Structure 1
């Protein structure tokens, strides 16, 4: 027996329909041949639904949703006998068009449903399917029937994460990647054995929500490669799917996540809710601008767009409708895609009120803190924006923050910046001074991200080399890269310079992976990938941005060193402490102690270039097989130094685990008695056991 509310009551041009269900928003398959459409607009005076046969330039149905199809500010309709797999759809809205009041309705514009679960029109990377159409991006309808085979988000404890920041396309697009499906979600699946060998257990993907690849008014050779120009917040980037032209991007992305989870690798998505791809006052109509402009954007007093993001518009995140939209989006990605977490681009937007000013108790933050679906979801903040607002350490302890102080301190210290020494110590501790109400896992420690030089370029270039960037930005010229080229600019045949660069990369990774907090590094840094001195490759879809896997063989010793550090970190829970250390544990030693050239003698508050630190890890406290001590000596001076080793219990001895000056690994396992000798700009990791 068919439900009475699923019988058609109206018909137009042979298409049967009836009043729909106002919730949920979006297009939902009700039965095999019936789809419910629902959309919100507070200020519209007219709403039309347009249906297209897939690939057609003109709609086969234009249906005006009159007042009987509106409940409150929601328009909904149920369409019958629809081949939803071969259907594309959009909306047109009419209403006031008075920019001074923030109204921008235009009934000639066909708009994408903000809740569309798939968007067609750019199914092949950097190609418009409907370039000569007035409706370039179109909503597609999907059915939530993917077979997850029992998969769920991994819920790895934050302190156990090792995050690997990655661009979907750039990770495997280079011919040297050796994968079949280059530059796609499927290509990442092919590289899972490599990720497992490296030892990371979390990848953080640069934006994968459907985004605008083309920059308005600029040559098509220039693209928004990084993806920080979102067009839709519920659909995956179809251009990242080899199956995108077949309409299977959703399944391909879900399959990638399932395969990653099966191999113990979590996934964090970089999300952009601070601005949209509609740009500024002369920008394109995609969704929000033509559906309910005043709801979705923060306005200046004259109705123009407020620009607190540096991207020409600012999303009105604490408007009740937008707040619910954001929560709905995050819930959807967690429930439908099993995403483990999110990194929020320019996260201070979450605390700005509808006037753009910071709020003491932002409703959005309260909603996120108490949300039943997101309660175990990792939330990571980029805690600053171009307008100068910083929220680092201000969010609840369910959040973590990218720690830019750690980034700059490590870069400056390894090149000889003694003034950064005290910050290095605070970073190794997990930055308790920054996260007084949190834990070490509140700090995402990193040296390199997609912004700025790669790790190799940080030790190989003194100046930026962004001559090929089509759109220069302040970062191209006025950005402090904290870099040092080790004596030669760029590639060189000088053996001493190249050996020093390898040591410097290893030194940086040593500090990063032995520090408390969540370590993150950029894909390719483990084998010295280069962007040839470009520190702002946001528009470079070419070998500048693609990982060159040939360098894995050339820099195998760097890869092996990083891999060993990750394994060592996993083996020693004292490094991954859930709470800030206390003075002493059951070993009778301080859990984390600081040492100068002489053991136990160090002024951590004065500039320095040479120091050591030691973890005490008793099996009684950390449930490990044996008591042990971990010592790391760091020499950022341009001269050799001898460091006295701390005395440990009788019967124990110090053995070398890693030495950045040992390219061939010959010193691994060597016993050290009273001291170690560190060559200029080098680091050494030792373990003390019976």
Structure 2
């Protein structure tokens, strides 16, 4: 190690950065009295060297070690007061993961001495423990900075042409028969030709990856023989999760992740990361000491103002990151910029984003976090999606985020489920959600793509289970079926779970097609959950966060029903991307535009007359139609040219009986074509319907018609 020399080094950038000759180490701690850097042998057990960081600049402790290079394993020990009642939890017996580590190697053994206090002591977390934890702690890894991106360029798909596919890196390919066994469940497997071919043929424009930041399994799961599958338990905000790497964990995961991004970009597919900055895996005051808690607890976490021994918990996990604190906010912002600039990702979906925007206690549109994101020149180039709620007071904030954000629209999800389930009085809200949720987003000056529409997500029933189960069935989670939401708005169509009844199966298939078709003709940005296009089931489990097995993994062995659904989904995505009226960037006005004879949006009763305000509350409002006037669409495309698309007419029939619709009386010089019928009557052929015609919509079905625009 170059004579084990130590140079002063630099306070920036934070983390371990190799420059070709040595490595600069820099770590923040305002309240520590001393920081030691520990270097480990390749076995990750033997501590080779301990270096006291004597240089300190602006609360950053730093040193440069010549000869220390990529693959080196390291960690920190922080000296200072152990005073939980004052918010200080320093304990140099506990090895700490570098918050800025670019890679992490090894698992966390939560059965080891990873707590800063003596477990079982009467004083609880006040009882100091001096047992060394190094053997139970994963090690940070020095990573080289060279990677050949081969001219990689982001696809930059416009929001209005985006179709998002929410997917788990591991679960996507674990059962894929055409992916080589040694690649399944990995970044490399995700980048393999069979996996990418599925995405391209499906037609999606972006993958939204469930968390890929390094995370750890919870102790209670380890005790049950289960694992955290989803990954919402972050340990390292810069490090790609090592369990998705085929080539080891000594930094190889960084290159393999980059290779996946590069391959997806070549296929024209964007990469959006589901990121968890609202909390960490260190839990509450009784949780383990793994990183931030031992480095500078008061700077990184939101502590109770009444007693800083305890944590403010807006996330349901025991702690909340304090983005009102400059070092914590800097950690988040540095991480986001790193993933854009160094890992080439195209956007982020922020888990429990309301927690990040609490300033200090309640959501604030001008919070320090939201302002920091707004002014950042790197982040203004990427897609930003908020999960606009958390579990704290006044935590449901759909529609409240600033103009540069899109949001998961939970109101869209709920009303689409209720409408097709057959609940009463859903039509009025359904009308708002189908047309971009102007009531939520337009008053604040936001665009139509502020709404990310979805019917299912990783958290909850799959689409197939949504029409197959009235109740959740989470027994495999070993929590006595207490976990997971009961507010599913699901309907089993006449039998709970699997059945051989052909009538029930036909109805379930139609309901699945109804919700997929609804999603893909709605204004806003559609998000499909991986597997829904192929009829994926989790056996009624609506909280499969700990099921790293066949319950969660995609099943690629398709029978005729599932193969037909895949074909239908592909056709619906193609329809969406071929029709300009389904890709609006501005909200509807409900009036004639330009010299067109059509309104941009009009709603009709089954008898063909335009709906009035009082009609939305009538019983027939389960069966309505809306017209999107292609001739009236005059907004320019991204090249400045006038868009002139087909006019679409969508007939919705959520009633239990068939309904005959009279086509609305607009210009009749051209015939209507049936593009899709979820009842199956026109799945392939394109029927022509002449002027003043009628169309029969079967019970619980959608019929989509088009009429060519005047060119």
SS of the aligned residue for 2:396 comes to: coil
Tell me which residue corresponds to 1:73. 59
Contact residue 598 and residue 632 of structure 2 kept, 8 A? no
Task: Give the Cα separation in 1 of the matches to 2:312 and 2:625.
Answer: 49
Unaligned runs of 5+ in 1: 1-7
Task: Give the Cα separation in 2 of the matches to 1:351 and 1:245.
Answer: 34
* 1:187 has 2:202 as partner: no
Task: Give the Cα separation in 2 of the matches to 1:547 and 1:163.
Answer: 17
Task: Give the Cα separation in 2 of the matches to 1:172 and 1:81.
Answer: 40
CA shift in 2, pair 1:665/1:141, >3 Å: same
Contact residue 164 and residue 522 of structure 1 kept, 8 A? yes
Tell me which residue corresponds to 1:605. 616
CA shift in 2, pair 1:399/1:60, >3 Å: same
Tell me which residue corresponds to 2:282. 278
Task: Give the Cα separation in 1 of the matches to 2:465 and 2:110.
Answer: 28
Task: Give the Cα separation in 2 of the matches to 1:263 and 1:217.
Answer: 38
Task: Give the Cα separation in 2 of the matches to 1:204 and 1:119.
Answer: 23
* 1:387 has 2:392 as partner: yes
Tell me which residue corresponds to 2:79. 94
SS of the aligned residue for 2:513 comes to: helix
Contact residue 415 and residue 429 of structure 2 kept, 8 A? yes
CA shift in 2, pair 1:63/1:126, >3 Å: closer
* 1:678 has 2:697 as partner: yes
CA shift in 2, pair 1:394/1:132, >3 Å: closer
Task: Give the Cα separation in 2 of the matches to 1:671 and 1:259.
Answer: 45
Tell me which residue corresponds to 2:667. 649
Tell me which residue corresponds to 2:406. 400
- Cα RMSD (Å) of the superposition? 2.4
SS of the aligned residue for 2:189 comes to: helix
Tell me which residue corresponds to 1:336. 342
Contact residue 648 and residue 688 of structure 1 kept, 8 A? no
CA shift in 2, pair 1:514/1:360, >3 Å: closer
Contact residue 557 and residue 664 of structure 1 kept, 8 A? no
Selected match of 1:528 from 535, 539, 563: 535
Alpha-carbon shift at residue 585 of structure 1 (Å): 2.5
Task: Give the Cα separation in 1 of the matches to 2:310 and 2:481.
Answer: 23
Q: How does 1:365-514 map to 2 (within 5 A)?
A: 365-388=370-393, 389-435=395-441, 436-437=443-444, 438-471=446-479, 475-476=483-484, 479-514=486-521
Tell me which residue corresponds to 1:3. none
Tell me which residue corresponds to 2:157. 156
Alpha-carbon shift at residue 404 of structure 1 (Å): 0.7
Tell me which residue corresponds to 2:120. none
Alpha-carbon shift at residue 601 of structure 1 (Å): 2.9
Tell me the number of residue pairs that the alignment of Structure 1 and Structure 2 aligns.
671
Tell me which residue corresponds to 2:6. 17
Deviation digits for residues 256-276 of structure 1, max 9, x if unmatched? 111111111111101111110
Task: Give the Cα separation in 2 of the matches to 1:397 and 1:636.
Answer: 34
Task: Give the Cα separation in 2 of the matches to 1:409 and 1:640.
Answer: 22
TM-score (norm 1): 0.93
Deviation digits for residues 169-206 of structure 1, max 9, x if unmatched? 11111255644411111121120011000000011011
Alpha-carbon shift at residue 252 of structure 1 (Å): 0.8
Deviation digits for residues 521-543 of structure 1, max 9, x if unmatched? 10010111000100111111111
Task: Give the Cα separation in 2 of the matches to 1:406 and 1:519.
Answer: 11
Tell me which residue corresponds to 1:348. 354
Q: How does 1:25-424 map to 2 (within 5 A)?
A: 25-31=14-20, 33-66=21-54, 69-82=55-68, 84-122=69-107, 134-174=135-175, 176=177, 178-180=179-181, 181-190=183-192, 191-216=195-220, 218-219=222-223, 221-245=225-249, 247-300=251-304, 301-302=306-307, 303-354=309-360, 356-359=361-364, 361-388=366-393, 389-424=395-430
Deviation digits for residues 609-652 of structure 1, max 9, x if unmatched? 10111111129836689752111111111111101112343431
Contact residue 177 and residue 548 of structure 1 kept, 8 A? no
Alpha-carbon shift at residue 390 of structure 1 (Å): 2.5
Instruction: Report the more deviating stretch, 442-451 or 185-194.
Output: 185-194
Contact residue 92 and residue 107 of structure 1 kept, 8 A? yes
Alpha-carbon shift at residue 243 of structure 1 (Å): 1.8
Instruction: Report the more deviating stretch, 614-623 or 409-418.
Output: 614-623
SS of the aligned residue for 1:327 comes to: helix
TM-score (norm 2): 0.90
CA shift in 2, pair 1:217/1:402, >3 Å: closer
Instruction: Report the more deviating stretch, 213-222 or 303-312.
Output: 213-222
CA shift in 2, pair 1:595/1:189, >3 Å: same
Task: Give the Cα separation in 2 of the matches to 1:471 and 1:227.
Answer: 19
Contact residue 177 and residue 549 of structure 1 kept, 8 A? no
Task: Give the Cα separation in 2 of the matches to 1:143 and 1:331.
Answer: 18
Task: Give the Cα separation in 2 of the matches to 1:257 and 1:530.
Answer: 28
SS of the aligned residue for 1:195 comes to: helix
Alpha-carbon shift at residue 214 of structure 1 (Å): 4.2
Task: Give the Cα separation in 2 of the matches to 1:637 and 1:275.
Answer: 44
SS of the aligned residue for 2:616 comes to: coil
